[in-house]
Structure 1
């Protein structure tokens, strides 16, 4: 594999053409291996000779020190380039150039010895050359992250308490960082997006302005400090994009990323931000910049003026930024980076919070500053809530459980307040109520997050009820407990949050972000109720009235939000996700119920007004059809549009006039129409694999009894699976819908 040096040395190879400094015994310059074996004249250029470039054999261009010799030493010894030592403690990190040989005593050398006595001959070699003395390199040690009380390491702590071994004994093995030529080339390409700093600054400023100065990833002052120092220290290099200087900049970033972040509890937020930018630039920060820029581009309406002025296409530009952010995360994993900056940028949040030990509790102390402790609490709360929501949507158990983590809610402080000094923060926190909520009555991002975590805990309980093996009596009992806890938690929220559900808010006086927060809080309650009702219908044979009412309330809110141009123009990505997660599920329930009403000969009490419901479903189907084909939610939106359109066609243009006549022959099948549809769901695998493994409700408890309608309904499966199930229904047969 091609390799590259991470240590800039006096004799390191630049991007300009330099001849090799190796000579044969006859005094002639050493040829590369392809030219030597082919008996061709070599121009001796490193890292790759021009002949190999023309022959497209650059990956084989290697300058061996002593061809055909097994273990011969060069008689001409030169002083080596000293190794660069980073890190601290008993396990220093040595970023070693592969162009520098190493002595066999490097394993036993201390940090000081490694920096002064690690002598070897410096050799100019091609970038594709393998490391010298590869057999002498120590294996790369992996960072296991947080180790708990049941881990293998706990025995060492016990032995330390007994005085057998030091309790802080650690391996002193020196760790080397090797970056392949492919990885180095990839990292150089990543830095190309930082060339147009003006565009990046405009996108970053736009997203923080739309979000009221808040973000899911980092604080606005920290992001702006990252960009400022990046421009001051590396602006000329990034603007010129000269290959040699870009490569040296990449080497600097690789070394910085491999070094740990060192700070204590007294560090200020801006000083902490400087640990990852300027001369200390790290891949975590580069990834955060790309991610924030991409999120902004994906959230803007395609007709937004910012996209036209910058000359980029929202979706395509967002995907490119996502790819760059993923590449930066890969670089961080290569360096075994595990810190708060990596937590800001990573998409593997569950693993990160566990490896950092955040699930064991978070507090500000002499090692962790207050603002960073609050950021960690926000990150953990958001990660847990997202994981439970995703688990419900995909129909699988969550990978994080509130039963196994210490879930401490962040204080209701704005991002600007987190940047204050210690005395000012103490005064601000003293004005919070006993539960940590602000008494100003303003809805901030962290305010919504504090309320949403409570809904996520109850949703986890509902998932446990859906996936567990419980008798109908146990299901009813546990469902009652969940409903009681939900109402108790809701009553404990501040009055200005309770008014979101209990009073009709004037949408004209709400900003787009506030309207989103209000919507999410309302749907946090209703989505849980919708899930719970579907579980009750499936496992206890409950009626469908409550389910239909809840679905209709959610559906109306979705229609109202998606029709607000000011919201969709700034938060298009959020609106599209709302269509999929909240709208599609409730719309399918309503459409099926409406079709069932149409097939009944004389419905006693229709739960849905026919004309209004048809109009609303038509508007929703049109909104699904307006989703950009390049959007990640397009596939399921398009599938949902086809299903809803097909149901509307069936209602408005019945194919068989005799359907109602045949329906008259089966009046006994119409008592509980919704009990077999309920679980089309929020989940993610097929209905067959997620079927309830527990006791099945006795046929005598359901109105449909043991009647076989010729097909089965999915149970708490992926919403996409439900759409596929609807698409394959025989729409010319009315009998199956008697069970809906």
Structure 2
């Protein structure tokens, strides 16, 4: 008998599945795509098989119940020690076979998908780019690794080549067929230990397109014209839920969760509950995968897969410290429980070029793990930011934890580490005051250098604030640091036409760096500590402070609802205006007498 084509329908709140003939699934233009899509030979049924036999033989595994990473305090650690002791007693020849794991539950590829998951599938597929959408230039603001850029191009090509007609028509029945194909691919776990770049990326590109692959598009694409960032993140969030439903955790899913958090910060702000919840889920997934634990191996040979692990681990840790610095809430991942190895400053082209290219790239690194010259790579930014974030984690612990007491000696040691860490960065990561004078400068690289400098200054800012809390009354260093933080942030305002590509970061930059620095400048106006020009900074004077605060008020006023952090900016602006009004409108002594 001929098995009818799948169509998942919703009837009075219940989902039901109609069966599909695997031989016609994905067939378009008169040819079958069975061999290149989800239906493997083991999942096909012979013509004439009964419906019951078909449903049984076409089953695909759902995510197995894996325990994830298990550390020292887990039950597993004790039994591993026992296993090792038995091996010592009986010799290496003894092999202790573990009990067979409970086999994973099966989910037939004739999926009886819950109605809410079906709607997620259809929503995401309806909003995918069509043949006439120019995706690659219309990106969300983010630094995309080169390998990911190429993977997304491959995924888009596959969608248009294999599913172009379906994406053009956008009919539910066809999209359901497409969703089934993608879901079956997703049910096969991704192996995250490949040494070959191609072997690793082939698992989620080309004929193996998965919900993770679809999610990668939404981490990059700005959406169709008129599409809001919230809708983009909705599509990405649905992809995350679909991946979780069909497969086990993996590094690509972790990247999707990380980007969902950063995009949400652009929608509802960095202090919002949704953003904070997404960050918590991301950290939970990272620790489940065990990526927070690692050891620097002097004989380490990088691969694209292993470097992606290191990069996403560093990104998540640094993001946690960004959010903690912004909100003053306890960290989700303490530096005390983090030992992930640093990402290497190596080009993705080298990682994809094979052993010889990787070996040559490793030989070009300096003693600090950076390329001393050449193009500024995204990997260098990740390596630098996580080193700054590791120091920040220690400072935040002293600032926020009631059981950790700051000391002058500890703060002095951390400040020294801050300066030494920044000094070890390569020249292409160090901001120069005159680089924006060049009309042809690479603005994206300038942004990276300013960001690195701001995050370094933020560490010094926290350290000086903690010193004041201990009773040290020398505010000179804090004032100079605050003045530079405000001046650097104002570059985005005074050169906003050149920094249009990072426009969505403006609200965060304002509140993370300029607002705290501006607060210290306000205190200086209210309680002056020097006269004329500051002895440690020739550019710093009372007049300069008033000018910078006036510009800062204009920048804050530019942020209006519904922009994220708009309310926070408005509150900050009101305080700054009050301080300037108090200083500039105060009556002059002796006038009118």
State the TM bucket, normalised to the shorter chain: 0.7 to 0.9
Q: Partner residue of 2:445?
A: 514
Distance 1:659 1:483, change over 3 A: farther
Once the two structures are TM-superposed, the CA of residue 471 in structure 1 deviates from its matched residue by 9.7
Are the equivalent residues in 1 in contact too, given 2:64–2:248 (CA < 8 A)? Answer: no
Aligned-partner Cα distance in 1 for 2:219–2:15: 37
Q: Partner residue of 2:12?
A: 58
Distance 1:354 1:62, change over 3 A: closer
Aligned-partner Cα distance in 1 for 2:517–2:365: 38
Once the two structures are TM-superposed, the CA of residue 605 in structure 1 deviates from its matched residue by 6.6
Q: Partner residue of 1:410?
A: 343
Q: 1:196 aligns with which of 130, 141, 147?
A: 130
Are the equivalent residues in 1 in contact too, given 2:62–2:104 (CA < 8 A)? Answer: no
Aligned-partner Cα distance in 1 for 2:436–2:372: 21
Are the equivalent residues in 2 in contact too, given 1:225–1:273 (CA < 8 A)? Answer: no
Q: 1:576 aligns with which of 499, 502, 507?
A: 507
Aligned-partner Cα distance in 1 for 2:250–2:464: 42
Superposed CA offset, 1:484-535 (max 9, x none): 22233334334554x536x754542531111111112221221111111111
Q: Give runs of aligned pairs for residues 261-340 of structure 1, distance below 5 A.
A: 261-262=190-191, 265-269=194-198, 271-294=199-222, 312-313=225-226, 316-340=227-251
Structure 1 position 145 matched with structure 2 position 68: yes
Are the equivalent residues in 1 in contact too, given 2:508–2:565 (CA < 8 A)? Answer: yes
Distance 1:547 1:13, change over 3 A: closer
Q: Partner residue of 1:585?
A: 516
SS at match of 2:306: helix
Superposed CA offset, 1:235-290 (max 9, x none): 22111112111111112222222221247635333x53332234422111111211
Once the two structures are TM-superposed, the CA of residue 384 in structure 1 deviates from its matched residue by 1.3
SS at match of 1:358: coil
Aligned-partner Cα distance in 2 for 1:659–1:406: 64
Q: Partner residue of 2:408?
A: 476
SS at match of 2:505: helix
Are the equivalent residues in 2 in contact too, given 1:437–1:447 (CA < 8 A)? Answer: yes
Aligned residue pairs total 524
Superposed CA offset, 1:158-213 (max 9, x none): 565548994443423341335202211221121011142443x43x33549x87xx
Are the equivalent residues in 1 in contact too, given 2:391–2:414 (CA < 8 A)? Answer: yes
Q: 2:156 aligns with which of 214, 227, 236?
A: 227
Distance 1:468 1:364, change over 3 A: closer
Q: Partner residue of 2:525?
A: 594
Once the two structures are TM-superposed, the CA of residue 553 in structure 1 deviates from its matched residue by 1.2
Structure 1 position 345 matched with structure 2 position 256: yes
For the pair shown, which has the larger CA radius of gyration, 1 or 2?
A: 1
Q: Partner residue of 1:27?
A: none
Distance 1:159 1:612, change over 3 A: closer
Distance 1:515 1:542, change over 3 A: same
Q: 1:545 aligns with which of 465, 476, 492?
A: 476
Distance 1:623 1:521, change over 3 A: same
Question: What stretches of structure 2 of length at least 5 have no aligned partner?
Answer: 23-41, 88-93, 259-280, 535-539
Aligned-partner Cα distance in 2 for 1:449–1:266: 22
Aligned-partner Cα distance in 2 for 1:628–1:530: 28
Are the equivalent residues in 2 in contact too, given 1:226–1:277 (CA < 8 A)? Answer: yes
Q: Partner residue of 1:10?
A: 3
Q: 2:578 aligns with which of 646, 651, 668?
A: 646
Once the two structures are TM-superposed, the CA of residue 616 in structure 1 deviates from its matched residue by 2.2
Are the equivalent residues in 2 in contact too, given 1:230–1:277 (CA < 8 A)? Answer: no
Q: Give runs of aligned pairs for residues 167-182 of structure 1, distance below 5 A.
A: 167-177=97-107, 179-182=113-116
Superposed CA offset, 1:530-558 (max 9, x none): 11111111222433222212111111111
Distance 1:123 1:652, change over 3 A: farther
Distance 1:149 1:580, change over 3 A: same
Q: Give runs of aligned pairs for residues 417-456 of structure 1, distance below 5 A.
A: 417-456=350-389
Aligned-partner Cα distance in 2 for 1:193–1:113: 30
Are the equivalent residues in 1 in contact too, given 2:320–2:333 (CA < 8 A)? Answer: yes
Q: TM-score, normalised by structure 2?
A: 0.77
Question: What stretches of structure 1 of length at least 5 have no aligned partner?
Answer: 1-8, 16-46, 49-56, 64-78, 83-111, 125-130, 133-137, 298-309, 661-740
Q: TM-score, normalised by structure 1?
A: 0.63
